[in-house]
Amino acid sequence: MGYRLSKIYTRTGDRGETGLGDGRRVAKDHPRVEAIGEVDTLNSHLGLLLAGLAEQGLTEVSDVLASCQHRLFDLGGELAMPSYQALTLHEVERLEAAIDVWNDELGPLENFILPSGSALVAQAHVCRSQARTAERRCQQLNAVEPLGAVGLAYLNRLSDLLFVASRIIGRRQGVAEVLWEAAKRPV
């Protein structure tokens, strides 16, 4: 990648446009900028989850998720510079392998669970739902400006990983899953 930011403010976006890595200027609500923003929000929420995991000494989980922050930054680069390709299928496969290991330990899910039980479990679910939002924004962009399949698959698999991670976090903390209870029907 080219230059690094030496000045934080440029004043070039004051009129509702921003620059992409390829030199194009687009509206700040352009689907590409929306996708970049949602990936950035996911990365920030993931950072909060990683900080909590470190505080709780859950290094097994943070070791798996820490590289995801870097890959999300790579994805943001791909979105900002459409000709740039950083993610590979290997990264998607790495997520799948982690899902398989944790899922084997957890066993089949027999009930719907709520994003609750502990602050870390809930934060993992915030990350999961934000991954889905980022994926939707990228799919919206993909409908008008085709994206590489790897980035889209990465976001989809990351949301799956975060769901399984939420369950593993609860297990490591000794926190029971909070099961969904259907509303009682009037008699």
Q: Cβ contacts of residue 52 below 8 Å, gap of 6+?
A: 119, 120, 123
pLDDT value at residue 25: 84
Give the model confidence (pLDDT) of 89-132 as tens digits.
Answer: 999 999 999 999 999 999 888 899 999 999 999 999 999 999 99
Q: Which domains does the chain have, with CATH numbers?
A: 18-173 (1.20.1200.10)
d(CA 73, CA 64): 16
Give the model confidence (pLDDT) of 150-173 as tens digits.
Answer: 999 999 999 999 999 999 999 999
| CA distance between the termini of the chain | 65
User: Across the chain, where does the E strand assignment appear?
Assistant: 17-19, 25-27
